[in-house]
Amino acid sequence: MLRRIDITDPWRSLDRDFWPEDLPFGRKTVVYGHNGSGKSTLAELLLSLSEGEGATGAVWEDENRHPTRTSAGGAPPSLSMAVFTRRWVKANLSAFLDGKSASAIVTLGKEAIDAKDEEARLVAKIAQLHDERRKAEAQHKLATSEINKLVRDVQERIVSQLKEFDYNYYTKNRFSVSRVQSDLRNHKGDRPNSDAHAEALRRLAEGAPASLPNITPPPTGVAGHLAILSELLAMSPTRMAIEALNANSSAQTWVEQGLTLHKELDRCLFCDGEISNHRRNQLALHFDESWLKIRGQAQALLTAVTTEKEALHAWKSGLPDAARVTSTLQVDYQGAIEQVQRAVDERVTALEAVESALKAKVANPSATPLAPEWSVLASAPSTAAIDQVVTEQNDEAARYADVTARYKQTVLDHLVGSQSDAFRRLEEQAGGLATIRENTVKAADLAERRLSEVRQAQFTTKDMANTLTKDLARVYGKGHLTVAVTPDGKSYACRRGNKPSTDLSDGERMTLSLLYFLRKLQDEQAPGGHPSQRIVVVDDPSSSLDREAVFATHQWLIDSLKNYGQYVILTHDFSLLRLFLKSHKNAWGKSMKEIREGNTEEKNFPRVSFLEMYATSVNGERRSKVGELPRVLLNSTSEYAYLFSMVMAGIADPEDHERLFLLPNAARRVLEVFASYKAPHRSDFLQQLETLVSSQEGEPYRDVYDFCNRYSHGEGNESIDVLDARAVSRQIRRCMEFLRSVDSEHFDRMCKATNLEPTILP
């Protein structure tokens, strides 16, 4: 038997030491816990162990407190344990409970069970093979689609990229899908990369290259005139210079111009001073014939230098623009142009230096400026590199048809070659998938023939069908559901009246599943032998049942499980808990008395045990714990009182309350019961709550409605998300304040009934 179990590694919401050593399972055990408390997790752990494939490492403690360790994937000391869970139902009865087809798969009897196992294996294998075939077909279809897409994409790119360069040749008729497929499959030639492909398209887009004019030689004539430059700049006039004007070019120019203006005048136009003959003689000596001759020579040479400088500028500007040169020659052309421009700039610089010296000599023939370096002017800039580019471009223009054919082939080779490997891989993949599809079809045919043979070995009996029908009638108090042998006599079908049951409710599914589970235990020859050596675990037997069915299920479970060595019922149904408390009251009382009197065996493994599972927070994570059944659950005649006390306890101690994870749902459940009593004329909880909230002036508790509508959960599956009450502690308090504001007298009476102080809520 199982006294308690622990795990060696965290698994789902369970952690090591989740089960206290002093809280054992009994021979008859009921574990109560709200949704999200971890009951189903515990049941799944026990189911995995019963199947010999433990979900995690565990420590199994028997009724004598002897521990046995099992590793993940291992089995407990005995496999004589049967566990009823949702997963068991899904694995064993999903097709039988599927009302759409009312397919009869439930079979009992050893031979039928053995055949049923083989049938299940074959059905699974056939389903797997069909699934593999469908997957292969889908993947083959996808691969074929990808092949077609790739081929059409290559075709489209060939036509779209090359048609504008040869409208009549690059068409979809000439480059058909079949031709492109063949080219992709058989391509073995060059595979130009994307850069070469882009370059070829650019060259094609440029069109025919323009013919360029031959380059004329640059001007160089001034160098022959500069041989006298140094001598000219060093010349000085032979006249007697006036010291006041000497070395003052501005004054020289001003006085020279003044002589012309005052040629016939005796007085100065500017200062009205007398112009004497002596002064005129001085000026004549200063501006003598040699002075004017030097200036004239300097002026003539200056004109030649300026003319050549301007000619060089014009020649440089007249070179062909780089935009006229094809892209393949532009780099060479740009380098040649820059080289020539640097040579021209050197010469222009030298000419400007000469020009500056000559201007100084013209302004003042008496000045003797130094002659600048002008040897660079002795030779013309080389145009060989430019001439080479011009020759190549003109040659390319003459061979344009051959060049464009090469570029078109480059584009075509890239478009086909870059996709040929991918095309061949897709074709190989499609061929492999076609082979898989054919092989799975053949294997499925063989398995289906074997399945037909296995199904012939299955049988059922009318007596067992009648037994299941009586069980259903006992639970529901009426015979609306029956189990009958199928016309072929091989299995059972569930019927509603005279028709196949095609609309089983969740409660009917649960009841029929549990009936089958227990009747199957009676019929099968499983390890463990006698029922007194077996353990039976049932998770949530009353889920989705109405009140009358819960009552019948309770009694039926007691009768069905009484001969088993140990049974454990896990439930979230408060009504079922109360029924078990009542039916086991005497046995539980005797057990508790013997424990108080020091009976060690009874303490270690009592006749009856009532426990609770609940979720709590450990280091900020949700963890499940096993604990004693709270006293308030024993004393409360309704779930409402228990939930009321639990929520109030959470408000009193919001930091350390063990069941913090349950409080949001518990608060909502309290309001559900309260609202159904206060507003029974509305059809559902939120409508009832809306009525109560809106009835108060100013709707001060609108936040309570929002909380219940958004942040808490009603009854649902074990796996629902639960909220950390610390995050919503204020909303929980507001829920109870709202209840008190609607009916303070009821609030006070509930506090009294649950031994709570109303002052917990200020």
Most confident range (mean pLDDT) of 259-268, 492-501, 575-584, 714-723 is 575-584
Overall average pLDDT of the 245-257 stretch: 66
Structure tokens at 66: 């002897």
Phi then psi for 597, rounded to 5 degrees?
A: -85, 0
The band of 741, judged by pLDDT with boundaries at 50, 70 and 90, is: very high
Residue 388 vs residues 385, 393, 759: alpha-carbon distances, Å: 5, 9, 106
Q: Compute CA 287 distance to the chain's CA centroid, rounded to the nearest angstrom.
A: 97
Tens of pLDDT, residues 623-679: 888 988 887 777 766 778 888 888 888 888 776 555 556 777 788 889 998 999 999
> Judging by beta carbons within 10 Å of its beta carbon (0-12, 13-18, 19+), is residue 682 exposed, middle or buried?
middle
Predicted local distance difference test score (pLDDT) of residue 247: 59
Q: What percent of the chain clears pLDDT 70, i.e. is strictly above it? A: 81
Predicted local distance difference test score (pLDDT) of residue 25: 93
Do 374 and 220 touch, CB atoms closer than 8 A? no
The answer to which of 201-205, 321-325, 334-338 has the lowest mean pLDDT is 201-205
> Judging by beta carbons within 10 Å of its beta carbon (0-12, 13-18, 19+), is residue 308 exposed, middle or buried?
buried
Q: What's the rounded Cα separation, in Å, for the pair 17 and 408? A: 78
Predicted local distance difference test score (pLDDT) of residue 745: 93
Q: Is the pLDDT of residue 332 over 80?
A: yes
Predicted local distance difference test score (pLDDT) of residue 131: 87
Overall average pLDDT of the 33-61 stretch: 87
Overall average pLDDT of the 445-455 stretch: 75
How much of the chain is helix, strand and coil, in % rounded to 5?
Answer: 60, 10, 35
Which helix H or strand E contains 265, and what residues bound it? none
Q: What's the rounded Cα separation, in Å, for the pair 123 and 728? A: 50
Overall average pLDDT of the 677-695 stretch: 90
Instruction: Check residues 402 and 755 and name the one with the higher pLDDT.
Output: 755
Predicted local distance difference test score (pLDDT) of residue 479: 75
The band of 109, judged by pLDDT with boundaries at 50, 70 and 90, is: very low
**In this structure, are strands 481-485 and 67-70 parallel, antiparallel, or unpaired?**
unpaired
Predicted local distance difference test score (pLDDT) of residue 715: 39
Structure tokens at 736: 């109870």
DSSP type of residue 84 = E
Q: What is the mean pLDDT of the chain?
A: 80
> Judging by beta carbons within 10 Å of its beta carbon (0-12, 13-18, 19+), is residue 533 exposed, middle or buried?
middle
Q: Compute CA 207 distance to the chain's CA centroid, rounded to the nearest angstrom.
A: 47
Q: Is the pLDDT of residue 263 over 70?
A: no
What residue spans of 364-458 are helical by DSSP H? 384-398, 400-456
Tens of pLDDT, residues 602-631: 899 999 999 988 877 777 677 888 988 887
Predicted local distance difference test score (pLDDT) of residue 444: 84
Predicted local distance difference test score (pLDDT) of residue 720: 34
Predicted local distance difference test score (pLDDT) of residue 52: 82
Instruction: Check residues 245 and 510 and name the one with the higher pLDDT.
Output: 510
Most confident range (mean pLDDT) of 229-233, 391-395, 417-421, 687-691 is 687-691
The band of 694, judged by pLDDT with boundaries at 50, 70 and 90, is: very high
Predicted local distance difference test score (pLDDT) of residue 744: 92
The band of 575, judged by pLDDT with boundaries at 50, 70 and 90, is: confident
Overall average pLDDT of the 168-187 stretch: 84
Tens of pLDDT, residues 492-504: 777 787 777 767 7
Q: What's the rounded Cα separation, in Å, for the pair 471 and 607? A: 27
Instruction: Check residues 458 and 761 and name the one with the higher pLDDT.
Output: 761
Q: Is the pLDDT of residue 374 over 90?
A: no
The band of 122, judged by pLDDT with boundaries at 50, 70 and 90, is: confident
Left, alpha or beta for 280 (phi > 0: left; psi -120 to 50: alpha)? Answer: alpha
The band of 103, judged by pLDDT with boundaries at 50, 70 and 90, is: very low
Predicted local distance difference test score (pLDDT) of residue 453: 65
Most confident range (mean pLDDT) of 167-171, 178-182, 262-266, 455-459 is 178-182
Counting runs of H as helices and runs of E as strands, what totals does the chain give? 25, 12
DSSP type of residue 759 = G
Predicted local distance difference test score (pLDDT) of residue 459: 46
The band of 202, judged by pLDDT with boundaries at 50, 70 and 90, is: confident
Predicted local distance difference test score (pLDDT) of residue 717: 36
Overall average pLDDT of the 143-151 stretch: 87
Q: Is the pLDDT of residue 186 over 70?
A: yes
Overall average pLDDT of the 499-522 stretch: 78
Do 609 and 580 touch, CB atoms closer than 8 A? no
Q: What's the rounded Cα separation, in Å, for the pair 460 and 655? A: 59
Q: What percent of the chain clears pLDDT 90, i.e. is strictly above it? A: 8
The band of 723, judged by pLDDT with boundaries at 50, 70 and 90, is: very low
Structure tokens at 108: 């009992």
Q: What's the rounded Cα separation, in Å, for the pair 297 and 290? A: 11
